[in-house]
């Protein structure tokens, strides 16, 4: 496996050198100039260590235009390639090359990470509707040739060899094949289809193989969050499935730098006022508090660190690192508890002390009361490569009512504040903010609430 990894990297280096020499030869009318291709450094263990991170000028301008937004407008956020058209740029928007060119200029000779979200699988987001995507369940061929291949071609351009390119691989995909398929009562027909046709696994493997062949790309697979795969029934099977996907389509485990948790979700990084092992009046909160409901974890950091170990057990290299999306999991502001809840019952204790104030852990759309979380930082804790802002704060998770569109966005009632829920959130209210635009569109009121409820607070 290691030898294979070495070969892939060596091959990709020589491919790049070749492409570059050819380009120069063409530019010089056939004369090969004596200009060396930019050397690509070997992959480092943690790409974020000692590096700046790309600030997306488009997000930054929107943030800066909001009241209070200038305090965070210079924070790095990810670029989402959420449809084929995003590669060239939607409307007047920047395309992938524009972002990479801008990244080269922001780097100014220093190490710089640019974060790209690869998000366009066939039958995308099979358990929800707000981000269904443009490719039908069986369009794996288009995924490869019209989406992954063109992105890989651009990333392999020698002009970008000096960047550290982080790819977040396909959120909303693999964990669905564990939790939302038959015979679980949470199954959806769409997730059953994606499990049966194998296209999530094939697509993820293909993306990893293509990007893994480029020496300066760092692949991080989406690993859900503690409120999704923190239960024993989901934890091990997810790790096994990730190993299967990472070895599909000719990929090997060594194409994986790590995993990311909490992408676009709201799970608290640390719950300071209760722990999974606590008991109240002799009753274990893990078993008796409805909020926890037998989960093994109460927050993202403990989950991410434990899941890293489980992934290594499943075969991934012991050098893998985790990212945690902390863009919207701050839960600060006036309603944040300042100490543990009363020890009158497990529910009173956990509900009184928890900083994550969602109505249910399964709620995911435009959550009312949320705040910005930890600012992006490299290597904050053992096993964690970085806290990162992957979901750009201020971009909606989905519309609160049906809005016609040509972006492959459906209407999911989990984004409707009047919705009384479904089996996946145990029939709780959705907790979503009202008047939200389509997923990915700017949601000013949400941005302003995130700023107000930031934790740590903004200076």
- Of 370, 354, 347, 373, give the one whose Cα is nearest residue 273: 354
Give the burial string for 140-162 (b: 16+ CB within 10 Å, else e). Answer: bebbbebbbeebbebbbebebbb
The dihedral sign for the CA sequence 182, 187, 189, 192: negative
Nearest distance from residue 166's CB to ligand BGC, in Å? 16
For ligand BGC, give the closer residue by CB, 271 or 397: 397
For ligand BGC, give the closer residue by CB, 56 or 355: 56
Tokens, residue 454? 């930031």
For ligand BGC, give the closer residue by CB, 107 or 135: 135
Q: Alpha-carbon distance 266 to 284, whole Å?
A: 25
Binding site for ligand BGC (CB under 6 A): 80, 82, 131, 391-392, 395, 397, 439-440
Nearest distance from residue 447's CB to ligand BGC, in Å? 12
The distance of Cα 236 from the centroid of its chain, to the nearest Å, equals 20
Q: Alpha-carbon distance 437 to 442, whole Å?
A: 7
351 is catalytic: no
For ligand BGC, give the closer residue by CB, 360 or 391: 391
Q: Alpha-carbon distance 141 to 128, whole Å?
A: 23
CA Rg, the chain, in Å? 22
149 is catalytic: no
Chain residue whose CB lies nearest ligand BGC: 440
**257, β-bridge pairs:** none
Tokens, residue 435? 């008047």
For ligand BGC, give the closer residue by CB, 116 or 191: 116
Residue 359 burial (C-beta neighbours within 10 Å; 0-12, 13-18, 19+): middle
Tokens, residue 360? 């249910």
For ligand BGC, give the closer residue by CB, 248 or 415: 415
Nearest distance from residue 313's CB to ligand BGC, in Å? 31
Nearest distance from residue 43's CB to ligand BGC, in Å? 27
The one catalytic residue in 82, 125, 385, 397 is 397
Give the burial string for 412-430 (b: 16+ CB within 10 Å, else e). Answer: bbbbbbebebbebbeebbb
Nearest distance from residue 408's CB to ligand BGC, in Å? 8
Contact 164, 218 (CB under 8 A): yes
Neighbours of 234 (CB within 10 A): 18
The distance of Cα 204 from the centroid of its chain, to the nearest Å, equals 14
- Of 173, 163, 261, 172, give the one whose Cα is nearest residue 218: 163
Q: What phi and psi, each to the nearest 5 degrees, are found at residue 338?
A: -115, 5
The one catalytic residue in 82, 125, 172, 356 is 172
Nearest distance from residue 82's CB to ligand BGC, in Å? 4
For ligand BGC, give the closer residue by CB, 39 or 65: 65
Largest CA distance in the chain: 82
Nearest distance from residue 129's CB to ligand BGC, in Å? 11
For ligand BGC, give the closer residue by CB, 320 or 436: 436
Nearest distance from residue 278's CB to ligand BGC, in Å? 35
Provide the CB-side half-sphere exposure for 423 (13 A, CA): 9
Q: Alpha-carbon distance 433 to 412, whole Å?
A: 13
Catalytic residue numbers, as ranges: 172, 397
């Amino acid at each position: 496996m290691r030898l294979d990894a070495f070969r892939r990297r060596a091959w990709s280096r020589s491919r790049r050198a070749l492409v570059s020499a050819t380009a120069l030869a063409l530019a010089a009318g056939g004369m090969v100039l004596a200009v060396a291709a930019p050397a690509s450094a070997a992959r480092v263990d943690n790409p974020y260590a000692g590096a700046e991170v790309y600030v997306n000028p488009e997000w930054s301008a929107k943030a800066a235009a909001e009241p209070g937004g200038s305090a965070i407008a210079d924070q790095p956020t990810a670029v989402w390639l959420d449809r084929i058209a995003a590669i060239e740029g939607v409307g007047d928007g920047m395309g992938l090359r524009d972002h990479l060119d801008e990244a080269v200029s922001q780097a100014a000779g220093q190490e710089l990470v640019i974060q790209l979200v690869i998000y366009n699988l066939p039958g995308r987001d099979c358990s929800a509707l707000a981000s269904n995507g443009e490719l039908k369940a069986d369009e794996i061929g288009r995924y490869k040739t019209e989406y992954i291949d063109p992105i890989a071609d651009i990333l392999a351009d020698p002009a970008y060899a000096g960047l550290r390119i982080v790819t977040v691989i396909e959120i909303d995909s693999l964990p669905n094949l564990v939790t939302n398929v038959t015979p679980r009562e949470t199954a959806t027909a769409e997730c059953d289809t994606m499990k049966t046709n194998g296209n999530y696994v094939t697509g993820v493997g293909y993306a990893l193989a293509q990007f893994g062949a480029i020496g300066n790309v760092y692949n991080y697979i989406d690993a859900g969050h503690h409120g999704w795969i923190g239960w024993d029934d989901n934890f091990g099977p997810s790790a096994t499935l990730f190993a299967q996907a990472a070895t599909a389509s000719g990929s090997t485990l060594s194409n994986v730098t790590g995993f990311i948790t909490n992408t676009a979700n709201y799970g608290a990084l640390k719950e300071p006022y209760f722990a999974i092992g606590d008991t109240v009046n002799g009753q274990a909160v893990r078993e008796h508090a409805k909020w926890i409901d037998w989960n093994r974890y109460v927050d993202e950091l403990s989950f991410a660190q434990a899941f890293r170990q489980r992934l290594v057990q499943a075969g991934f290299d012991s050098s893998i690192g985790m990212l945690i999306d902390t863009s919207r999991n701050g839960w600060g502001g006036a309603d944040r508890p300042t100490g543990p809840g009363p020890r009158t019952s497990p529910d009173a204790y956990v509900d009184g002390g928890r900083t994550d104030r969602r109505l249910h852990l399964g709620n995911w759309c435009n959550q009312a009361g949320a705040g910005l979380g930890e600012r992006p930082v490299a290597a904050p804790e053992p096993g964690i490569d970085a806290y990162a802002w992957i979901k750009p704060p201020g971009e909606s998770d989905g519309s609160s009512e049906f809005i016609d569109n040509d972006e492959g966005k459906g209407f999911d009632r989990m984004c409707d504040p009047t919705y009384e829920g479904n089996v996946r959130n145990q029939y709780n209210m959705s907790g979503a903010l009202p008047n939200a635009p389509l997923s990915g569109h700017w949601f000013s009121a949400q941005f302003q609430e995130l700023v107000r409820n930031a934790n740590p607070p903004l200076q």
